[in-house]
Structure 1
Amino acid sequence: MSGPLRSSPVLVLLTVVAGLLLPAVPAAAAPSFQRYVAIGDSFTSGPFIPPQVSPGCFRSGRNYPSLVSERLGVPLADVSCAGAGIREMFARQTGGPFGAIANQPPQLDALTPQTDLVTLGLGGNEMGYIELALRCARHGVTNLTGSPCRDDVLRDGHDEYQAAIEQAEAGVDRVLGEIRKRAPQARILVVNYMQVMPEDTGCHPDVPFAAGDVTYLHGLQRTLNEMLARQAGENRVEHVDVYAASAGRHACAPADQRWVEDAFPENEGAPLHPNAAGMAGVADLILRQL
């Protein structure tokens, strides 16, 4: 039997030369974009998260569009604005509680044929989520049993908030179509809403809702997110599922774990809105998907 095989000097030399001549396998690189436009409402703009770079829109310099732009090194046109809904995509924002101080052009006007990345966070104001939260808080101050807010909403047998989500679907479809028309080369990502409330238990007095109303609010948010996912699919654009990633990081979670603040914020952020940690979490999800 022959002894152990030994590499000859010639074989070693050929192996080294071959290694030098073969092309290296490139490492995964971040995608390159030329112009990023961020469209959305207060869950995009980041109220009360410093620095506030556009006080009229309660827009933060540390919201998720700013973090994504910085990480990718891409110029950003962030036109997200608190209080914005489908109307403000096409018309100047002048109405509502924030409109008088926002007074900004239609958000879709920021799009150009050169725009190649767009994120869209829209629908919460169409549903009236914050209005409903305030309504439920008023009930919760005096009644923490059952579902007094839900019972009030449904007293005539009609759920106006559920109906608003259904009516908003055509508007979201129209907005996505207009984005594609104005920025035909863009990669478009629909960003849904992170979990605001737990599924079935509250945290009074930090969030003064009756337990049954917590379940009701959670169900409406789930319906809103399902509508956004459906529209992303029908329009053949991408969907970023922030809701799933934020499970357990709702307003009733411990302060150092939550992505959404409660009625009395302990972190940087507005009540029942994303805080700085939530914005960083959304940015990470978007970057991972890109």
Structure 2
Amino acid sequence: MGQAPAGGQRDDRADGELGDRVGAQGRQRHEPHPAAEAGRTVSQPRHEHAQVDAAFDKLKGRLASVAIDAGRKSPKAVVALVGYPKLLPADGASCNRSEVPFASGDYAFLHGTLVRLNDLIKEEAAKGGAHYIDTYKPSVGYDMCAPKDKRMIQPLIADGGIAPAAAHPNTPGILRLGAAVTQALAKLDR
């Protein structure tokens, strides 16, 4: 929930809207949410949960349909859906807040959403007759909050601005995740 100003009224509109907060306030450099700086949790507004649920509902059946179509058009192909790597930890305790500036509650919400998305991709692969390739397990311990020399996922903020390839694999991550996908495909029957 938003913080209560001196008058006691909370403003819940900005909670969880990182891009809107940064852009709307015209900041040259990103500043963490005040609650994150204080180590407090910012709850996700209910409308954001509903939006995520609606997005998941839209995906249901669509990925399976894509897998079925791919198998139909290329009957000799190995069809696989690839899940997402672990982007960030569930609690954020290991995160450098200047690089990954979320409030504590945001980590759990975002991590849970990613796990839920991978579960959906896996279910859709099974429904569509495709294989599921897990890139989450090979990335555990290498998320954007891992030490700089160990991480496979770029943090959100670097040098005071949005990091290039923010929340995407860096070069070691591309190589490691690519190897995981290649190894998984090699094990599949054709």
- TM-score (norm. length: structure 2): 0.72
Cα distance, 1:166 vs. partner? Answer: 2.5
Cα distance, 1:245 vs. partner? Answer: 1.2
User: Looking at both structures, which has the greater relative contact order when contacts are Cα pairs under 8 Å and sequence separation is at least 6?
Assistant: 2
Structure 1 segments of 4+ aligned residues over 2 angstroms from their partners: 131-143, 156-159
What residue in structure 1 maps to residue 182 of structure 2? 287
* CA offset digits 1:163-205 (Å, max 9, x no partner): 2122212211221122112211101121110011111124311
Report sequence identity in percent.
23
Between the aligned partners of 2:96 and 2:173, the Cα distance in structure 1 is 19
- Classify the secondary structure of the residue corresponding to 2:157: coil
Alignment of 1:195-274 (within 5 A): 195-201=86-92, 202-265=95-158, 270-274=165-169
Contact 1:137 1:209 in 2 (8 A): no
- Classify the secondary structure of the residue corresponding to 1:194: coil
Q: Is the aligned partner of 1:169 residue 2:60? A: yes
Contact 1:261 1:273 in 2 (8 A): yes
Cα distance, 1:158 vs. partner? Answer: 4.9
* CA offset digits 1:249-269 (Å, max 9, x no partner): 111111111111002359x96
Alignment of 1:25-36 (within 5 A): none
Cα distance, 1:278 vs. partner? Answer: 1.1
CA RMSD of superposed structures (Å): 2.6
Cα distance, 1:147 vs. partner? Answer: 2.1
Cα distance, 1:132 vs. partner? Answer: 6.4
Between the aligned partners of 2:152 and 2:78, the Cα distance in structure 1 is 26
* CA offset digits 1:65-105 (Å, max 9, x no partner): xxxxxxxxxxxxxxxxxxxxxxxxxxxxxxxxxxxxxxxxx
Contact 1:190 1:232 in 2 (8 A): yes
Cα distance, 1:239 vs. partner? Answer: 1.3
What residue in structure 2 maps to residue 141 of structure 1? 33
Contact 2:88 2:107 in 1 (8 A): yes
Structure 1 residues 136 and 278, CA gap change in structure 2 (3 angstroms): farther
Contact 1:269 1:275 in 2 (8 A): no
Q: Is the aligned partner of 1:278 residue 2:173? A: yes
- Classify the secondary structure of the residue corresponding to 1:187: coil
- Classify the secondary structure of the residue corresponding to 1:260: coil
Count of aligned positions: 155
- Classify the secondary structure of the residue corresponding to 1:204: coil
- TM-score (norm. length: structure 1): 0.48
Structure 1: any 5+ residue segments left out of the alignment? 1-130
Q: Give the counterpart of 1:178 among 48, 53, 69.
A: 69
Residue type matched to 1:196 in 2?
L
Residue type matched to 2:34 in 1?
T
Structure 2: any 5+ residue segments left out of the alignment? 1-15, 24-30
Structure 1 residues 244 and 174, CA gap change in structure 2 (3 angstroms): same
Between the aligned partners of 2:48 and 2:166, the Cα distance in structure 1 is 30
Residue type matched to 1:220 in 2?
T
Contact 2:152 2:173 in 1 (8 A): yes
Residue type matched to 2:175 in 1?
A
Between the aligned partners of 2:89 and 2:21, the Cα distance in structure 1 is 15
* CA offset digits 1:110-166 (Å, max 9, x no partner): xxxxxxxxxxxxxxxxxxxxx966468789423212124x1x3x1x58521132122
- Classify the secondary structure of the residue corresponding to 1:159: helix
Structure 1 residues 219 and 181, CA gap change in structure 2 (3 angstroms): same
Between the aligned partners of 2:170 and 2:18, the Cα distance in structure 1 is 18
